[in-house]
Amino acid sequence: MATCSHLDEITITQLPEAVDGCEDCLRIGDPWLHLRLCLECGHVGCCDDSPNRHATAHAEASGHRIIRSLEPGELWSWCYADEVAMILPEVHGETRIPPSPLGG
């Protein structure tokens, strides 16, 4: 089984109480589908099924590798470098998010 060797790069172990949406989409007025949190700096971006794929764009631009889903009930994290999904027990909390502009 593949494992992630970048866990020491995680700086965020407490999820924010609430976010307004994908911060990059909000800036340009675009809609998103699902939200992802960068566990290295707290950037909130949108998933790869969203038109702008801001979570992946952020990972490529910043070199940050690990994201956590902010969708209700989704506990998984993802490492872009290792391409491995994982549950991180050290990450706590649940984030209130607005309904997706694209639904689903």
For the bound state, the minimum distance from the C-beta of residue 76 to Zn ion, rounded and expressed in Å, comes to 14
For the bound state, the minimum distance from the C-beta of residue 60 to Zn ion, rounded and expressed in Å, comes to 11
In the complex with Zn ion, the residue whose CB is nearer, 13 or 62, is 62
User: Of all helices (H) and strands (E), which one includes residue 45?
Assistant: strand 44-46
> Which residues of the shown chain bind Zn ion in the complex (CB under 5 A)?
4, 6, 22, 24-25, 32, 38, 40-41, 43, 46, 52, 54, 62, 64, 79, 81-82
CA gap 1, 12 in Å, rounded: 25
For the bound state, the minimum distance from the C-beta of residue 72 to Zn ion, rounded and expressed in Å, comes to 18
Using left for φ > 0, alpha for ψ between -120 and 50, and beta otherwise, residue 53 falls in left
Collapsing DSSP to helix, strand or coil, 2 comes out as coil
